[in-house]
Amino acid sequence: MCQTTRLTRRRHAPVLALTAVQAGVVGLGSLLLALPGKLPPLPSLTDDSAFWLACIYLVLGCTVFAFVVQNWALRHSTPTRVGLLMGSEPAFGALFAVFWLGEQLSPTAWLGGALIVGAALWTMARRSTSPA
């Protein structure tokens, strides 16, 4: 996020254009990782449409949408704040799963979540008290 802000500070790249580049890099990187052929073959579209619908949802809902929100937020906030909010998302996702979906977390998982949120709060507190 800091690098994206630094690279786009003087250039006003449209949010959707920047998102398209980021999604393209992620997609190309994913394809390159899958090249060695150690992965099982993908199911056909006709045999397993649920798999492909889930993939489309994850790509659009979790990757592209997250990039759009992140790039929009970088224009309206500091990179540190956006990074902390996006970085603490897994901890809040786990809380959502526990309280709404009834998931069970181990003590180690609770500790990890507490460390993530604690680090985010500590960094925000340090940032707000440091001289500008």
Q: How far apart are CA 8 and CA 20, in angstroms?
A: 14
Confidence check: pLDDT of 7 > 90: no
Q: Does residue 128 carry a pLDDT above 80?
A: no
- CA end-to-end distance (rounded Å), the chain: 20
Q: 57 pLDDT band (50/70/90 cuts)?
A: very high
Domain locations along the chain: 1-78, 88-132
| Phi/psi-derived region of residue 37, left when phi > 0, alpha when psi is between -120 and 50, beta in every other case | left
Can you tell me whether residue 86 is helix, strand or coil? helix
62: pLDDT strictly greater than 90: no
In the predicted model, what is the mean pLDDT of residues 17-32?
A: 86
Q: What pLDDT was estimated at residue 32?
A: 84
* 48 has pLDDT over 90: no
More confident of the two residues 102 and 9: 102
pLDDT of residue 2: 65
| Predicted pLDDT at 99 | 92
Whole-number average pLDDT of the chain = 80
- Most confidently predicted of 11-15, 78-82, 112-116: 112-116
Kindly report the number of other CB atoms within 10 A of residue 19's CB atom: 21
